[in-house]
């Protein structure tokens, strides 16, 4: 039998059902892998005692014939943006030192109720603001891939800890959040599957907010079928979230028919950007050939407003962050740095508690919302966002899904772009447009670049049509047959 840490979620579920191993044995294997992989800094908080307690409860349910679903006994991790009752929740920020919520986020509660086992809370860019998991107060996360370089590489961000943990075999699945690409881009960098559902498909209740009109929880797994299984549990209407869609859930696993004959796949010409590496251009063409060989019709489409997506995003997201982060003042929870007056205490707490990137975005957002600039920046950005969304809707009148690269490069070295915020922001050039429109997207590992580093292909679908996205992704996964493993892999080591 394969090492327990190298199984897919579906394989582990079957192994548990067949009695090949217990949930405790599966959990212990992953706790051991986690302990050997601390150099990756994928986790902020480990919860081995809680995990073993949950695993024992799962084994008891199985013994009594009361299994609650296919994820009962499956070890997973939660991005440290999801509030978890009684477990330290930091958003990777100094300002939330010591914060242990008295409640559970809806998504993590759904996974817990489905019997999953929480190994811990994963690292991220502070308050999800970043594309490399280097702005965390707890230090950067290392990508388990190194390729031909002899450097520590970023895992992408902001959900880099979750992506690295799944890629390295430290858990079988993990939660992430995607605001402008924070699930899809790290999935591409780490050679795994990552999905951003339609905005409103998964509840945001209990998820620490960055940009409320953009944030959306989603899963990281090693296969598309595992993603469908995990999303089935995470998704669903939640009356506690006013933006949660009151729609019945389809059967996501049933969408994986392996048949895309007759589907129309759009190729947006605007995603061919200047300076894009040859490896990504070639892989994109390979992806086009794969879906064409599988019977899909390729349709060239145009999304001319794509060029405005990044500037629009970097007005709207910081503006919403400025509003959302106003609550962190040192009064009610987390860090407090005293001063001679209330105003000085606020200033000291926020100045010391927030990192450089968070302060930068709060300042940008506050400026965009200020009197005299609101109409020129924020209001104008919202108007262009509506036009971008309408442009996608028009294109989806003629195609079933879009196929694009996930990111404009493979993983880069830690520290490489730290001094150039604009270069860092450009990491999201292929993911931000669909985020602004609230559309579902998935990244599937499709190949390696010349340095032996993974590259992902992105499939974007219509709002609330995750089924088409998953169907195309399943075919892409089969055609790509991506079997490469990172240099650091718990599955290989055990």
Q: Rounded distance, CA 471 to CA 203, Å?
A: 23
Residue 277, both tokens: 């590496």
Quick count: other Cβ atoms within 10 Å of Cβ 111?
25
Spot the catalytic one: 58, 105, 158, 159.
158
Residue 265, both tokens: 């796949």
Q: Rounded distance, CA 33 to CA 13, Å?
A: 19
Query: Does 79 participate in catalysis according to the annotation?
Result: yes
Spot the catalytic one: 182, 188, 225, 322.
182
Q: Rounded distance, CA 11 to CA 466, Å?
A: 23
Query: Does 393 participate in catalysis according to the annotation?
Result: no
Cα–Cα nearest to 193, from 371, 445, 16: 445
Sheet-wide strand order for 43-46? 43-46, 117-122, 75-79, 173-178, 216-221, 193-196, 441-448, 454-461, 401-405, 264-268, 297-301
DSSP 105-140: -HHHHHHHHTT-EEEEEE--SGGG--SSS-S-TT-P
Q: Rounded distance, CA 425 to CA 280, Å?
A: 18
Phi, psi (rounded to 5 degrees) for 208: -60, 125
Q: Rounded distance, CA 93 to CA 335, Å?
A: 10
**Ranges of H-type helices in 270-375:** 278-293, 309-324, 342-353, 356-369
Spot the catalytic one: 79, 112, 121, 417.
79
* Residues noted as catalytic: 79, 158, 182
């Amino acid at each position: 039998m394969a090492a327990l840490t190298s199984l897919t979620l579906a394989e582990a579920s079957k192994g548990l059902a067949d009695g090949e191993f217990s949930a405790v044995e599966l959990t212990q294997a992953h706790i051991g892998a986690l302990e050997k992989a601390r150099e990756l800094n994928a986790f902020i908080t480990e919860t081995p005692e809680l995990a073993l307690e949950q695993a024992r409860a799962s084994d008891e349910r199985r013994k009594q014939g009361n299994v609650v679903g296919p994820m009962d006994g499956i070890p997973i991790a939660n991005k440290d943006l999801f509030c978890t009752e009684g477990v330290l929740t930091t958003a990777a920020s100094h300002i939330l030192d010591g914060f242990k919520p008295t409640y559970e986020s809806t998504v993590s509660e759904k996974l817990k109720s489905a019997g999953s086992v929480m190994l811990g809370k994963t690292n991220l860019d502070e308050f999800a603001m970043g594309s490399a998991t280097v702005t965390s107060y707890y230090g950067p996360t290392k990508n388990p891939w190194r390729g031909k370089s002899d450097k520590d590489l970023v895992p992408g961000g902001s959900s880099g800890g979750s992506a690295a943990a799944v890629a390295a075999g430290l858990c079988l699945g993990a939660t992430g959040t995607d605001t402008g690409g924070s699930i899809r881009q790290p999935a591409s960098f780490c050679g795994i599957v990552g999905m951003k559902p339609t905005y409103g498909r998964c509840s945001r209740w209990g998820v620490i907010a960055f940009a409320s009109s953009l944030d959306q929880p989603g899963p990281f797994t090693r296969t598309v079928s595992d993603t469908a299984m995990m999303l089935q549990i995470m998704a669903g209407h939640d009356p506690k979230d006013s933006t949660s869609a009151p729609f019945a859930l389809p059967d996501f696993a049933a969408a994986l028919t392996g048949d895309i004959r007759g589907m129309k796949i759009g190729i947006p010409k605007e995603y061919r950007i200047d300076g894009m590496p040859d490896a990504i251009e070639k892989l994109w063409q390979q992806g086009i050939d794969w879906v064409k060989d599988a019977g899909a019709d390729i349709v060239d489409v145009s999304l001319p407003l794509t060029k405005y997506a990044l500037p629009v995003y970097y007005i709207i997201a910081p503006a919403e962050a400025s509003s959302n982060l106003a609550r962190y003042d040192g009064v009610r929870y987390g860090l407090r740095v005293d001063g001679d007056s209330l105003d000085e205490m606020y200033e000291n707490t926020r100045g010391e508690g927030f990192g450089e990137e968070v302060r930068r975005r709060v300042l940008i957002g506050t400026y965009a919302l200020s009197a005299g600039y609101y109409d020129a920046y924020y209001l104008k950005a919202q108007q262009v966002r509506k036009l971008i969304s309408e442009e996608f809707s028009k294109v989806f009148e003629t195609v079933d899904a879009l196929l694009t690269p996930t990111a404009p490069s493979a993983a880069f070295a830690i520290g490489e772009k730290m001094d150039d915020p604009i270069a860092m922001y450009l990491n999201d050039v292929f993911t931000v447009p669909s985020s602004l429109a609230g559309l579902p997207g998935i990244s599937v590992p499709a190949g390696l670049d010349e340095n032996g580093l993974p590259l992902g292909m992105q499939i974007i679908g219509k709002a609330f049509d995750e089924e088409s996205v998953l169907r195309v992704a399943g075919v892409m996964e089969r055609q790509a047959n991506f079997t490469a493993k990172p240099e650091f892999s718990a599955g290989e080591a055990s």
